Chain A
Amino acid sequence: MKYLFSLIVGMAVGVAVFFLLLYYNPLITQTKLSPLSVTDNELINLNYSAVAADSLIYTNDGESQIAPHPAKVLQLWERPIRQTTAMATMLRNSRNQTVGIGIKFSSDSESTRILNGEAIVDSVWHIYLPGRGSLFVEQQENYWGYMREIVIPAYWSSGDNWRGIWNGNTTSGPGALDTATVVGGSGRFDGLRTEGVEALAAKAYSVDKGPVAIDGEITIEIPRPDPEVTPDP
């Protein structure tokens, strides 16, 4: 009997050791530098608040940690969309002026591999910037760094919250350099095919409410038009 008890306790310790190794694995790091930071092309920066209560609407299955906003919004409780969130928010430029509307759908991805430090979310943005046009952003986001450095410490904290400064790119694909695919739909962006990156800047997180002070930023690269080739006279 004591051997069985010893084995069970050992296994519990083994599982705990495994998750500690996974949590503190130094080989799994979050990208903090945007691959677009070295480009010499024009960049469009669209900022938004990642706090649900600051959005126009935010909805999920209604049983998740983050409460839908406004309270009476239709919830996504049906089985095929239960692991999906929808958010509509105002988008602001670098001068904090409202420039457009963004709608984001995010779904937990089946390509999630916790063992590799990949908590993947498949997300798309539908963006409309009046006077400029519309855009579609396709990306995979990796929230492992966000969970490891914000969410889990918040649970471990005696006050059930996290405060600090955390900046990180969430975009992890489909581009080879961890960039999102951006497609133009109309206006100035008609026919555009380019790349983008989404990043989060977190200051406060609560176990009860989720994000308390977190801003998001979508950076989109606008390639320069190809120079016209003129025949040699």
Chain B
Amino acid sequence: MFRTFIAGILLGIMAAGAGLYFLPAVDQFREQSMIVVHTNHGNTESFHVNVPTDRIMVGAPSQVSPLPAGLNWPDSAQFAETRAELFKIRNAKDAVVGVASRIAASHEVSGDIIEWVFHLPARGSAYVSMRPESADGGYRIGELIWGTREFAALEGLVTEQWVADVSGSEDAPAGRIEVITAFVTQLVDEE
């Protein structure tokens, strides 16, 4: 019986080791990527934020009703021209796929900035800088500055546009921020 006990100990050690080795400790759920391939125009992927339902935070000075309720946004002068927002972001099938931050600020030294960080847990993150001025058609263009993991080897453009809801439905959101990415793999010089 003692030998069986010793064999059990060895079996337990091996089972625990094998379990930790072979079973993933973390398994991020991944929604299907909705990438569209265009004729001679590369690939685009469309994301959107339903407003106001996907807004996590709106940090801006002098808000009458801050979001979320209880947010204690700094009232110091250095943040007077700063607006920071957090969102959930959705893919083209309206499924939440990640979170995003958007910072819009104006300062005489650092200039006008509008930036996004998209964080898709199963895929990676993208850091995007938008041009402050709007293009014709009411959208804004920006470029991918840096990407991590799946976005690491990419470069390209991003557009953002506010699209108001025209469905007239009672439970429809007020509108949505539509973000379209057009990323391609970076060209690498081969010597």
Please report A residues at the B interface, Cβ cutoff 8 Å: 2-3, 6-19, 56-57, 59, 70-74, 76, 78-84, 86, 88, 90, 98, 101, 103, 105, 107-110, 112-115, 119, 122, 124, 126, 128-134, 136, 138, 181, 183, 185-188
Contact = CB atoms under 8 A, between A and B. Distances in A.
B74 A90 contact: yes
A73 B88 CA distance: 12
A115 B16 CA distance: 10
Contact of A131 (B5, B16, B54, B110): B110
A78 B125 CA distance: 18
Identify which of B2, B8, B81 gathers the most chain A CB atoms within 10 Å of its CB: B8
Interface residues of B, number: 73
A186 B142 CA distance: 13
B24 A105 contact: no
Interface stretch (B115-123, B155-163, B178-186): B115-123
Contacts of B8: 6-14
B109 interface: yes
Interface in B73-124: 73-74, 76, 78-79, 81-82, 84, 86, 88, 95-99, 101, 103, 105, 107, 109-111, 113, 115, 117, 119-122, 124
Contacts of A131: 78, 107, 109-110
Contact of B129 (A3, A114, A186): A186
Nearest to B17: A18
Contacts of B29: 79-80, 82
B173 to A, nearest CB: 14
